[in-house]
Structure 1
Amino acid sequence: MSRSALRSRLDTATKDLDPPLAVVDLDAFDQNAADLARRAAGLPIRVASKSIRCRHLLERVLRRPGYAGVMSYALPEALWLHSAWAGTDLAGTDILVAYPTADHAALRALAAADAARAAVSVVIDSVEHLDLIDAALGAHHPDIRICLELDVSWRPVRGRDLLHVGTRRSPVFTPDQAVELTRTVLRRPGFRLVGVMGYEGQIAGVGDAPAGRPLTGAVVRWMQGRSAGELAERRAAAVRAVTAHAELEFVNGGGTGSIETTGTDRSVTEVAAGSGLIGPTLFDNYRRFSPRPAVLFALPVVRRPGRRMATVFSGGYIASGPPGADRVPSPFLPDGLRLRAMEGAGEVQTPVVGRAADELRVGDRVWWRHTKAGELAERFTAYHVIEGDQVARTVPTYRGEGQCFG
């Protein structure tokens, strides 16, 4: 579908709604889901909820073949999802809280609920995390499901941490460190080790074909190839070492951008993905896949300051990460608009310039894409779900259900 046809379809579907508003193009969402499953080539996909933050969309994709389990980002979120799905076909869905928790109240709620304890696992990467759980629950508490996180970044100089390519997450880097922590978990009453995970952000979250920068792309591809080769050996060795002491239910790896390379690692039993369902701009610069923009937002034109210039209401939806031009939302429809370098995306107004601005009138819509998948849901209480050229339903985001997990 051409951009002009897509704009016409979106405008028609939402003509009775006042912007600002956000929509889900259900055709694009489902196509993205099918493409992720194709890329996973039979490995189950654990859905990263931080990239969705809308229960309706989580439920839709979890009911598709090829998807199993949730990768949650906060323990209160995991408990809320588990409770919301009780009595439905998603009751007992396996939920991995993939970031360490320091929430004593949530830990006490987990310990008090037998069904939740059977479904929810929490990640650790140090003895301190075990100590914190014991402090929250007391010396004698029921078994808490534990997942050990392995640092799967790349260190070009073997044995040295001076060069570290990837996200700073777990201090557990080597198989020996993984075994040491495993033994500690097994010696401590009240804990059951069920999984190992590792997120290779230097592969999954870095585009290998940045537009207009072929040399950068070549360097990124070289880095990712070297990193993937090293990681395949180290992760496999760590999993072998851990499974010599504990029977694991899962080994999770990867992300939207690394499904193919992660899937070749036979020690991995499942992959994680979420952003690829939504198709934000952060995932425009990959060679292996090209997700369709499935979630968009519309802002109304409120000023016409001059020739080839229009101003929309609001728009400063800046994504997390290192500040830069790639963290701001991008005008998408009509084609031919861009932000002003001196103003960018503003808190209460955002000017756009370009040839298409002359066609805009006060009250018209400009459709936008955001940088990171789930963060748009923190700005809107609802998504309007579009099927064909009409809004089929309106569903709440986490915010719309009164939930905010940080």
Structure 2
Amino acid sequence: MNQLNQAFKDLQHPFAWVDLGELDRNITTLSLQSKQKRVRIATKSIRSLEMLKYLSENVPCFTGWMTFTAEETVFLAENGLDHFLLGYPTLEEGAVRELCQHVKNGKDITFMVDHLEQAGWLNKIASSEEVHLKICVDLNLSLPTPFLYFGTRRSSIQTIEQFDLLIEQLTAMKNLKIAGLMGYEAQIAGVGNNPSSSFKGMIIRSLQKRSKNKIMRFRKQVAIHLKKSGLSVEFVNGGGTGSIEYTAQSDEVTEVTIGSGYFKPALFDYYRDSKLKPAAGFALRVTRKPMEDTIVCHGGGYLASGTADLDRLPVIVSPNLQFYSTEGAGEVQTPLKMTSSKSTYSIGDNIYFRHAKSGELCERFNEIHLVRLGKYKGSFKTYRGDGKCFL
């Protein structure tokens, strides 16, 4: 904490920070785990143009970006980035027409589909803009069980029959070209397998093992069917930080997606055998001390999206402090209880936290302040600092 305090002593509070040394170590760790697969960086987990450029210059086998909206993709294309895969279907006409112009000007942009209606809408836009658009078919790799839907509710393509029908429909659309497949193992990549409850952890690990068997069969089967139909694709995308080692061993996958792992947000504390290091967080100032065992920070209510569980709270990095269960992380103030008589926190001190999810931290701050080996290294603007908010 002393090194951070010294590096950030002149900053206004609250502020977000990234430790470049830990970030570089995570880049190395994830590169080793991806086993020479091409790497597509998930922009939603970063949300900073300058940080994205830093990663593209330092990540081995970098191949492009997985973006999260059409408008964001326009912004990144206008700022010199290229090789985009929109991670989600989009129906925003104005932004898509702008992307059509970028395609005409030579940008490499691939749109995501999993349903005939999405594809038909894109084909109509492409036809009116007199351009051919590349598309990627998103597969549903979730594992429905009689008692639980294990995975995310996203793609409508859950069987090989559904896939074959969609491919037949897509090949009839003259302004679309099938360029890729994506099979994202959300229930492995995005679900921590080492929660505080050992019973829950046992169930999760069992379901993840069953999921791997389905994923391996279905994604490989789809790739084979596509090849038999005479269609070749530029890439087969899979994975995320939480499943990177498993996905990298899958022969049909040509590229993996990585985002959150570079910062290692707090949710990744619940993954077994994670070798990543926390590299990002935020700091609040102590402005009150109403009792000897209590300090109050100004701000702090930066909860993560998802189910309304305790693991969506920020994690306190500064030692011997805990949230009050009756207040949690507050909109304008966050009271913290000191858990040790040795705690000596006072008004004016910095208290450090880590956000539960990676990119969402940047929605709260205009810039990320950088530190390396205890030395302040300037700052990078976030999307918010560039005046942008995409979702």
Deviation track 1:315-340 (CA, whole Å, cap 9, x = no partner) reads: 0001000111111112111x111100
Residue 175 (structure 1) aligns with: 160
Distance 1:184 1:118, change over 3 A: farther
Residue 180 (structure 2) aligns with: 195
User: Which amino acid is the alignment partner of residue 108 of structure 1?
Assistant: R
Contact 1:110 1:117 in 2 (8 A): no
Residue 228 (structure 1) aligns with: 212
Matches within 5 A, 1:3-402: 7-64=1-58, 65-85=60-80, 93-114=82-103, 118-137=107-126, 141-156=130-145, 163-211=148-196, 213-245=197-229, 246-333=231-318, 335-355=319-339, 358-402=343-387
Contact 2:123 2:176 in 1 (8 A): no
Structure 1 residue 145 displacement after superposition: 0.9
Deviation track 1:180-217 (CA, whole Å, cap 9, x = no partner) reads: 11121111111011000021111111111123x22222
Structure 1 residue 309 displacement after superposition: 0.6
Structure 1 residue 312 displacement after superposition: 0.2
Contact 2:141 2:214 in 1 (8 A): no
Distance 1:130 1:147, change over 3 A: same
Structure 1 residue 140 displacement after superposition: 6.5
Normalising to structure 1: TM-score of the pair? Answer: 0.92
- Count of aligned residue pairs for this structure pair: 388
Contact 2:67 2:85 in 1 (8 A): yes
Distance 1:379 1:352, change over 3 A: same
Q: Distance in 1 between matches of 2:36 and 2:132?
A: 32
Deviation track 1:15-51 (CA, whole Å, cap 9, x = no partner) reads: 1112101111000111111111111111112111100
Q: Distance in 2 between matches of 1:365 and 1:275?
A: 25
Q: Distance in 1 between matches of 2:53 and 2:216?
A: 32
Q: Distance in 1 between matches of 2:221 and 2:281?
A: 42
Q: Over aligned residue pairs, what C-alpha RMSD do you find? A: 1.6
Q: Distance in 1 between matches of 2:276 and 2:175?
A: 43
Structure 1 residue 112 displacement after superposition: 2.1
User: Which amino acid is the alignment partner of residue 56 of structure 1?
Assistant: E
For structure 1, list consecutive stretches of 5 or more residues without a partner in the other structure: 1-6, 86-90
User: Which amino acid is the alignment partner of residue 386 of structure 2?
Assistant: E
Structure 1 window deviating more from structure 2 (311-320 vs 53-62): it is 53-62
Q: Distance in 1 between matches of 2:88 and 2:45?
A: 14
User: Which amino acid is the alignment partner of residue 138 of structure 2?
Assistant: E
Per the alignment, in what secondary structure is the counterpart of residue 128 of structure 1? helix
Contact 1:82 1:116 in 2 (8 A): no
User: Which amino acid is the alignment partner of residue 336 of structure 1?
Assistant: N
Q: Distance in 2 between matches of 1:165 and 1:336?
A: 36
Deviation track 1:54-93 (CA, whole Å, cap 9, x = no partner) reads: 11221122123132211111111112112211xxxxx5x3
Contact 2:126 2:132 in 1 (8 A): no
For structure 2, list consecutive stretches of 5 or more residues without a partner in the other structure: none
